[in-house]
Every structure is written in structure tokens, then in C-alpha cells.
Amino acid sequence: MAERNFPEGLLNAPVDKRYNYFKEYPLSHPKFNQAFRDLMTMINISQQDDSVILVYGPTRVGKTFLSKRVLEAINKKYSEEMKIDRCLIPAVRVEAVSPESGNFDWQHFYISALQELSEELIDHKVDPLNQRNQKYINIRSVLESRKTGALNRALENALRYRKTKVLLIDEAHHMAKRKRGIQLSNQMDVLKSLANKTGVPIVLFGTYELQPFKDQSDQLISRGMHKHLSRYRYDIEEEKRNFVLCLLSFQKLLPLKKEPNLIEHYEYFYTRTLGCIGQLKNFFNRTFRSKLEENPNIETLVIEDFYRFAFTTDQINKLIEQIKIGENREKQEISEDVILRRLMIIEDNYIDEDGSEDQAIIIDETKSNVGTEHINKDQIESKPTKEKELPDSKNGKASRGSQSKKSKPFEQKPKRNSTDVPEEFKVKNEL
């Protein structure tokens, strides 16, 4: 029997236990691992200059999972200090809720953050309202007043009192929602002021709607203090292979008597997720839960089980448009850096070997950078066809030839066990 990624005894466990094992399993994969390492480095650096850090990418690419892993890692780092100093909360994670009125609700945000900062006080039996500590504000009276200014000052004091090292804000793109007349820079000025006054760096996690925040003043977002958590692209062989390996990992994680054969339908799963691993996991979660409810003794899953929870044509095309805009903007900014470097070279009278001056690269934004075009309704409703070639899932990177040469996708490597999952796709305690 091929190796499975769950305890064998789980097969006889209740439905909830089997489902929760799969749902909560923290799958590791290359793009996530790199983003985690980069972000931890940024946080360590920004603790010296109170920066605001941006982490953005497509919907359900894994940003929320990343914020949770960072929270766990930082709290673990200071675990010994927390045993000695019961007031210490190294990292705080808050979700920025989408406003109902069209304007971001700062009061709700402050209250949520204060609640996160005071929860641990109860567990450690420390009185947050102890007036002997003059640096700490009476949170209860502030919450009752619901005055934005008072809530802001309460949060500043709470972050100092708790000696917080970083404030993580998930779904931060909701902060960009504002009424007419309110500048985007005003929203970000509030966060920068909070970071400056408390000495606590702030990390914003959100969709591509966060990208305009980078266009604010240099004092607002430091150069290089942002991370693009991108999807796996279908037009890049190595990334396509990694997406399929994630799919393989998920099918091995399902606590079922018989391992389903889903990677032969990798194209179907890609068109429904556009290479976003968070969406792929959500796709599996819904399908697995539904089938367990229908039949607790179900032995395996088949591709037809997933049709019910797949995105519609309109939903997919909307996501494609959002990804196009975000990726084109990211590519354009990289190109602008290239242009600046080349201009510096030109100013130094640099001449190419052929005697011509170096030319700047200009990006044509009219071309799609998504790696997949709009999906037709017929494609969505038609059943997926089996692929003739599957990737070697042991390890082996895709061959890197020149772009002019067409390489066969997922070329077979020397014989290996095709059901093995590479180490980089398995959960790790330390990255």
C-alpha cells in the first residue's frame, strides 16, 4: 500500500475527527515556505524602524494561513519570556472586517485589537484595569464610550504594556474602502502613526487592492518592505509541477480507506483554482465534508464529487481579471526598476558590445500575464479528460530550456515511486 499522510487509526475515527484532521493539517509548499522566510526577515528588520509591511496576492492564495503561521512562530520564539513575564503578548493578529457603510470602521478595528490584547490577561489572571499602572488605560470605560480617538490611544497603550513585537492585520484590503473625499493616504497615515508611537511594526495581509498603498509617501512604506505571495502559474513548468504536487499531497492527506486518484485531473483543478493553494484546500474541504455527511463510511472520492463546489464560469473569469491587473502591475514595477538601472548605465556612457546603447525594457500591459485565458462555459461544464502524462512526484525539477524550445510538460524522470510526496511539500515544525 502506498504511503499515506495520516495515522491509520484515523480511519475508524468519528466523522468530525477525520474531517478536522484534514482541515487543520498545515500543508507546506515552496511558495509558502519562501514567503514565510522572507516575511520573518522583514519583521526582524522592521523592528528597528517601525515599518508598515505589505503582503498581497490573489484571493485565497494562502495569506490568512501565512498570517497564522507568523503568529505561531513569533509567539513560540518568545515562549520562555512569556512564562516569566505574564503581561507579554509578542504577536497580535486582527482581522479588518469589511465595512457595511462603505467606509472602513476604525472603531470596530480598535475594539477587536484591544480584545485580542486583553484575552491573555484573563488566562494569566492579570487585571487589565489595575489603575496602579498609570501607563495602561481603563479599557472597559473606553470600549463603552466607543470614541475613535480614545480607542486609538487605548490601543497604543495596550501595545506598549503588552510589549508586542508585531501587529498582524488580515484582510487589510478592507482598509482601502472609504467614502468620497477621504484620501487613501489618510487611512495609511493612521497605521504609520500607530507604528511610530508604539515602536511596533505592522504587517498588512490582503488582496491586490493593497498594491496602491505602495504608492504612498516613502515614509509610509519603506522600499522593499512588501511581499507578493503569488499563485502557481500554469505557463511555467516548474510551478505547474509544484501545483500538481500540492494536489497529490491533498489526496494523500484524506483519511479514506482508498486513496483517490485526482492528480490525473490536475487541469480541472487548476482551472477551478487558478493555481491558488488556499482555494484548492477550500475546494477539498467542502467536498470532503459533504461526502462524509452523506456517507460516513465512504471509501474514496472521485472527480465527480467536486463538481458541486466548483467556481462558476463568471466567478472564474472575475478572478482572472483581478489576477491580470495585480500581476501586470507587479511586473510593471519590476520593469521600472530595470529601466532606472539601465538609465544609470546609459548616463555612464555604457555601450553594448555591438556598439549600441542599452535599451530599456517596456512592458506591454495589454498582454495577459495570467497563464490562462478566459474560461468558456462549455469548458466549465464539460467533464475533465484524463492526461496522458503525469508528473514524476518524487522530486525532480522541471527542465529549464530556453523559452523558444517547447518542453513536454511533466517529463518522466528515472523510475521512482510516483505516489511519493517530496519533503518540501510536507508539514514542518521549523521552516
Residues 210 and 296 in one domain: no
Residues 63 and 171 in one domain: yes
Residue ranges making up the domain that contains 250: 1-26+237-281+290-309
Residue 369 domain-assigned? no
The enclosing domain of 152 has a CATH number of 3.40.50.300
Residues 224 and 242 in one domain: no
User: Residue for cell digits 481579471?
Assistant: 321
Calpha distance 109→100 (Å, rounded):
13
Widest pairwise Cα distance in the chain: 77
Residues 110 and 164 in one domain: yes
Find the Cα–Cα–Cα–Cα dihedral 235, 239, 242, 248, rounded to 10°: -20
Residues 10 and 113 in one domain: no
Q: In a structure prediction context, what are the per-residue pLDDT tens digits for the chain, which is 431 residues long?
A: 467 788 888 999 999 999 999 999 988 899 999 999 999 999 998 876 768 999 999 999 999 999 999 999 999 999 999 999 989 999 999 999 988 777 888 989 999 999 999 744 433 334 444 433 444 445 555 555 558 888 899 999 999 999 999 999 999 999 887 766 566 777 888 888 999 999 999 999 999 999 888 876 455 555 558 899 999 999 999 999 999 999 999 999 999 999 999 999 999 999 999 999 999 999 999 999 999 999 999 999 999 999 999 999 999 999 999 999 999 988 887 666 666 666 665 555 444 444 444 443 333 433 444 444 454 545 444 444 444 444 554 444 444 444 444 444 444 444 444 455 565 555 443 33
Calpha distance 407→401 (Å, rounded):
7
Helix (H) or strand (E) holding 189: helix 184-198
Residue 88 domain-assigned? yes
Residue 244 domain-assigned? yes
Residues 101 and 223 in one domain: yes
Residue 183 domain-assigned? yes
Q: Nearest CA to 292 among 30, 17, 84?
A: 17
